[in-house]
């Protein structure tokens, strides 16, 4: 069977558990990126099987249903937060004459395909984002300059990762594809802004070394149980922070409520929100 970059495939040896995209082929080995999970893997071509058109359709329908469900949960949560903001800013009077200043977001992604998906969701949620496609290995060198230029409130540092038993035990950073670079990128970001509430950082991908990323200075990270995380989870974490008042703290359970992965794949520390609300709203000048 002939394979080309971009084909959707599964691995026979793993009982076709995850749908991957082929990102590159070298001799008889393919580098694979999860289609909706932030996982990187490699596999011999003879272990791969193409996803049929019928299975593609079923897979995409199921994925859309899952994403739409999470989005509905977020919208319900957002509506409750909105009602509380209106009440607080108007001292109990129900009026819509107010304006709000949500967080500025910088999103670094090691996958161009995922970055596009995330930006679409940011727009759907109503957040402005500066998205940058940067290979995980280049993130530590690039992030400081981007933070100084964009001056974000929230930074997302993500892409692909994976843990390999062959490379070492779970406490060894060398056993992970990209955790080392996520850690270094977080440290570089903290050299620019050390305050955990002035600059909130999410970092990590599938199976990433959660403890090292948090110790480096991230507010939220993956993956406590070394499981795979969904491509869109960083967006839902960012949205919760962006639409929570700067007067309120966001607990970890609050942040994870609308994610697709949950507490086994994501964790962090309690952090203040960023939204500032004011009134009256005078319209565009």
Q: Give a yes or no: residue 173 inside a domain.
A: yes
Q: Give a yes or no: residue 141 inside a domain.
A: yes
Q: Give a yes or no: residue 177 inside a domain.
A: yes
Q: Give a yes or no: residue 131 inside a domain.
A: yes
How far apart CA 218 and CA 31 sit, in angstroms, is: 28
The three-state secondary structure class of 32 is strand
90 and 131 share a domain?
Answer: yes
The segments of the chain whose pLDDT lies below 70 read 1, 74, 77-98, 279-285
In the numeric block, the tokens 């739409």 are attached to 68
CATH code of 130's domain: 3.40.50.2300
Give the tens place of pLDDT for each residue, 79-131. 666 666 656 655 555 555 667 777 899 999 998 988 998 998 898 888 889 99
Q: Give a yes or no: residue 61 inside a domain.
A: no
Count: domains in the chain: 2
192 and 223 share a domain?
Answer: yes
Q: Give a yes or no: residue 64 inside a domain.
A: no
109 and 12 share a domain?
Answer: no
The pLDDT of residue 97: 66
The pLDDT of residue 89: 57
Q: Give a yes or no: residue 200 inside a domain.
A: yes
Kindly write down the DSSP assignment for every residue of 27-85, as one continuous string.
TTEEEEEESSB-BEEEEEGGGEEEPPHHHHHHHHHHHHHHHHHHHHHHHHHHHHHHHHH
Q: Which two tokens stand for residue 93?
A: 């009077």
Which one-letter DSSP state was computed for residue 218?
A: -
Alpha-carbon 46 to chain mean position: 32
90 and 197 share a domain?
Answer: yes
44 and 163 share a domain?
Answer: no
Which one-letter DSSP state was computed for residue 245?
A: B
The pLDDT of residue 189: 98
The domain containing residue 256 runs over which residues? 69-278
The pLDDT of residue 158: 96
87 and 182 share a domain?
Answer: yes
- The whole-model pTM stands at 0.81
144 and 257 share a domain?
Answer: yes
205 and 115 share a domain?
Answer: yes
Give the residues across from 249 on adjacent strands: 272
184 and 260 share a domain?
Answer: yes
């Amino acid at each position: 069977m002939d394979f080309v970059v971009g084909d959707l495939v599964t691995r026979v040896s793993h009982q076709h558990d995850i749908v991957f995209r082929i990102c590159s082929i070298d001799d008889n080995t393919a580098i694979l990126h999860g289609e909706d999970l932030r996982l990187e893997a490699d596999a011999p071509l003879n272990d791969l099987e193409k996803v049929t058109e019928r299975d593609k359709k079923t897979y995409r329908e199921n994925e859309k249903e899952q994403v739409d469900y999470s989005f509905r949960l977020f919208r319900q949560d957002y509506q409750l937060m909105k009602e509380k903001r209106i009440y607080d800013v108007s001292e109990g009077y129900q009026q819509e004459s107010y304006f709000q200043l949500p967080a500025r977001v910088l999103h670094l992604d090691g996958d161009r395909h995922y970055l596009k998906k995330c930006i679409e969701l940011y727009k759907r949620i109503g957040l402005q984002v500066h998205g940058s496609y940067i290979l995980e290995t280049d993130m530590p060198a690039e992030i400081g300059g981007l933070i100084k230029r964009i001056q974000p409130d929230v930074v997302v540092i993500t892409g692909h990762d994976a843990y390999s038993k062959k490379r070492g035990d779970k406490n060894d950073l060398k056993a992970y594809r990209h955790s080392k670079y996520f850690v270094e990128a977080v440290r570089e970001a903290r050299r620019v802004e050390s305050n955990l509430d002035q600059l909130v950082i999410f970092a990590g991908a599938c199976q990433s070394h959660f403890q090292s990323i948090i110790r480096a200075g991230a507010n939220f990270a993956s993956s406590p149980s070394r499981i795979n995380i969904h491509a869109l989870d960083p967006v839902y974490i960012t949205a919760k922070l962006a639409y929570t008042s700067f007067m309120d703290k966001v607990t970890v359970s609050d942040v994870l409520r609308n994610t697709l992965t949950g507490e086994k794949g994501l964790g962090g520390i309690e952090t203040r929100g960023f939204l500032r609300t004011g009134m009256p709203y005078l319209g565009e000048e």
